[in-house]
Structure 1
C-alpha cells in the first residue's frame, strides 16, 4: 500500500510507517492511499463473523491490515488488542449501537478513557507510535491542536509512553471547564499544554506552519496526531464498519450516517469507507453556527472565516472555520488533480476560500459521493437534548444533538437507517445540559475528582516563533524514556 500527497502531481509514493510519524506531507498536502482497497461480499461476510465472534479489536486488525503492509499482521493484531480493551472502554462492544427513535440510531463512540470519540483513534495511535519508535530506536515530539477533545484523547493515549513528548495547543478560554481539567490537570513530564491567544483555527495554523518548516520538523523530530495524520482516519474507518454490521443483518442493506463535524475528519473516514465499498447511502454533514461545510455542500462555495468571524458556540469542538481534512475529499472530488488542489488549498484558502459552484464535479459530491448537510443552532441543540431526555430518557451532548437535529431534517429524504455518531459524553458540557434539562449531568465515577487537580499549562501568544521556542526549550530540559 502506497500513500500519496494531495498536492503532489508526481504522486511520489510513501510507506505507512513513514507517514505515521510525519503527519503532514513535505509539500503541505495530506496523505491518502494511492488507491482505496475494495471490499467484496466475501470480505463483508467475514467481517460480520469476526466482529460477532472475536470482537472490535479483531475487526480493527482486519480493516487496518488492508492499509498497512509494512507491519506484520501478528503485530497489528497485538496492537489493536492492546488499544481496544474493556474496561479501558466502558463497554465490551467498544462501540455499541442503539436505536434512538424512528429509524435514527446512535453509534456510541464515547466509551473510552476521555469520554470522547477521539479515543477511538488516539488509543490506536499511541500503540502504533510506541511500536514504530521502538522499531527505529527513535523519539518523537508530537505537536497538535485541539478545539476540545483531541487534546485530552491524545494526552491520555501518549502519557508516559516511551520516546514520546506531546505539545498540545488549545484556544485560550474556548474550552469547557471539564475539557480544560482533563488536559491541564495532567502532570506527566512528557505532556505540555499550551493555551494560545486565539481560536482553534489559529492553533491549527500554527501546527501547520511548524510542520511545513522542514528543517525545524526534522531537527526537532516533530510528528502529528491531529486528523491531518492519516492513521487517525484509518482507525476511524473501523467504527463505520462495525456500526454498519451492528445495524444490518445482510450485506445488501445500506445505512446512512449523520456526523457532527467541524474539521471534516470524522466524516472523511466515512467517505473513505464508502469509497472502499462499505454499503453507505448518505453521509450527512452536521455543523453548528460555524457552517462553512454546510454552505459548501449546499452552494459549492467554500468560504473560510477569520478568527473574529468564528462563532463561540455551545458545541465548541465544532467552532472551526477552516476544515483541514476537507482537502482530502476535494482531492477525490476533482479526480485527484493535485495541481488544482495545491492551488485551492495552498493559495485560495489563504485568500478567503474558493467556489466550485460552476464546476461540473460539484454535483458528484451528492450524486456520486453521497454527501448531504445541515446546520444546527444553539436553540436547536438545546431543544433536541431536552426532547430526547424527556421522551426517551436518553441524555446526549450538544455536538451529538447537532447530529440528531440534522438527521431528523434528512430522515424523510433517505430510506435507510441513519446512524448518528456520538462525539462525547454530556458531562463535558454541563452548562448546556443544565440549560436544556434543568439539571447538571451526572459525573461518571471515573471522573469524580477530575476538577480537583492543579492546572499545568503555559500561555503563549498566537505566534509561530514563540511556539517553536517553547518546544525547543522543553525538549532541552526534559528527558523521555
Structure 2
C-alpha cells in the first residue's frame, strides 16, 4: 500500500515513511492510494476483540511492517484502557447508543490513536536508529494523549502547543504535570488555530523539518485517522445486525478528523445511514454542510474547548476524495482558503453528512437531559451530539470523560464528577513554557531543547 499527498506534488510513500513524515512535503496530507474494500471481511471480524480487530484492519495498510511486529505494537497500545471492551457500546434506549471512547489513560478518544502512534514511533525509531522531535498543537485532548503516548520513550522529544487559558484546567495539568524530561508543553498567547498554523508553517519549512527531524501527532498524521476508523467498525459490529445499516453516527468534532475516520470506513464498505457533524458555537462545519460555504469566523471560547476551532485541517482529506482525487482542484481550494479564509463549493454534495450546532446553553441543557433521562453523565463535547437527534437509530460518540470538565457538570446537574487519575494530578507542579503565537519563538525553543543525533 502506498500513500499519496492530497496536493499531488510528492512521490508516494510506504506506510512507515508516511507516518514518520506526518505532513507531506508539498503541504498536503497523506491518504491511501486506494481505499480497500472491507465489506466482505466484516462478518469474519464480528466478535473479535478490539485489538484483534485493529490488527486485521491495519494489516490492509501497514504492509511494510512484519505482521508479528504489528500485532505486538497494537496489543501494547490498548493495555492501559480501563474497560476490557476498550470501546464499550452502551444502549441508552431502543434507538440511542453511546460509544464510550474515554476509557484510555487520558480519558479521551484521542488515546485510541495516540497510544498506537507512540508505539509505532518507538518501533520505527529503534529499527532505523533515528531520533525525532514531535511537534503538535492541541485544543485540549490531543496534547495530553500525545504526551501520554510518548513520555519517557527513547529517541523522541515532544513539543505541544496549546492556547493559554483556552483548555480546561485538568486538560492543562495532564500536559504539564508529567515530570518527563522529554516533554515540553508550550502555552501560546493565541487560539488553537494560531497554534495549528505554527505547526503547519514549521512542517512546511523543508530545511528546518529535516534538520530537526520533525514528526507529527496531530490528526494530520495518517496513522491517527486510520486508528480512529477502527472504533467505528467495532461499534458497527456490536450493533444488532438489523440496526447497524440503519444507524447514524453522531460525532462531536472541530478538526473533522474524528468524523472523517467514520466516513472513510463507510467508503471502504461499512454501510450506515450517515454521519452527523456536531459542532459547538464555533460552527464552521455546521455552516458548510448547511450552505456549501466554508468560511472562517471568530473563535469563541466555549464549554467544549476541544472544539474551539475554525480551521479544520482534516477537511482537506475530505475535499480530496469528494473532488475525485483531483489534486489540482485541492491545491486551488486550499490556496484560495488560505488567502481569503473562504471557499464556496458549487453544487456542494454533503454526501452522507448532516450537521447540528450546539451553543453553551444547549450544552448544559443536553447534559441535564441525558442525566435525567438515562442516568448517564456526559461531558460538554458529547453533549453537542445530543442536539436535535433525529428519530432513527443513533450512535453518539462520547469523546471525553466528564470528570475533565467538573465546573460545567456541576453547573448543569449539581453533581461532582471525579476521576482518581485526575485528582492525583492536582497535587503535582505545573511545568510549562510560555510564548507568543509566533513561529520564530517555537523555532528557538526546538533549537534549544530538541534532540539530535
TM-score range, shorter chain: over 0.9
Shift of residue 451 of structure 1? 1.1
Cα–Cα, structure 1 residues 239 and 252, in superposed 2: closer, same or farther, change >3 Å?
A: closer
Contact 1:176 1:428 in 2 (8 A): yes
Query: 2:422, 2:304 → 1: CA distance?
Result: 21
Contact 2:236 2:244 in 1 (8 A): no
- Over the residues paired in the alignment, what is the CA RMSD in angstroms? 1.5
Query: 2:93, 2:10 → 1: CA distance?
Result: 46
Count of equivalent residues: 453
Cα–Cα, structure 1 residues 457 and 346, in superposed 2: closer, same or farther, change >3 Å?
A: same
1:240 to 205, 229, 232: 232
1:333 to 314, 322, 334: 322
Residue 421 of structure 1 corresponds to 397
CA distances 1:419-456 after superposition (whole Å, capped 9, x unpaired):
11111000111111111011221x12233211111111
Structure 1 SS opposite 2:225 = helix
Residue 472 of structure 1 corresponds to 447
- Pair 1:193-2:182 in alignment: no
Query: 1:141, 1:163 → 2: CA distance?
Result: 9
Gaps of 5+ in 2: none
Contact 2:170 2:422 in 1 (8 A): no
Residue 361 of structure 2 corresponds to 379
Residue 282 of structure 2 corresponds to 290
Shift of residue 405 of structure 1? 1.6
Contact 2:39 2:268 in 1 (8 A): no
Query: 1:249, 1:31 → 2: CA distance?
Result: 33
Query: 2:89, 2:406 → 1: CA distance?
Result: 24
Shift of residue 187 of structure 1? 1.1
Contact 2:245 2:273 in 1 (8 A): no
Contact 1:251 1:279 in 2 (8 A): no
Alignment of 1:12-31 (within 5 A): 12-31=11-30
Query: 1:136, 1:248 → 2: CA distance?
Result: 45
Cα–Cα, structure 1 residues 133 and 141, in superposed 2: closer, same or farther, change >3 Å?
A: same
1:351 to 340, 346, 360: 340
Query: 1:460, 1:57 → 2: CA distance?
Result: 40
Query: 2:269, 2:243 → 1: CA distance?
Result: 11
TM-score norm. by structure 2 comes to 0.97
Contact 1:44 1:251 in 2 (8 A): no
Shift of residue 375 of structure 1? 0.5
2:387 to 387, 405, 412: 405
Residue 214 of structure 1 corresponds to 206
Query: 1:119, 1:134 → 2: CA distance?
Result: 22
Shift of residue 254 of structure 1? 4.0
2:251 to 259, 272, 275: 259
Query: 1:299, 1:176 → 2: CA distance?
Result: 32
Query: 1:304, 1:257 → 2: CA distance?
Result: 26
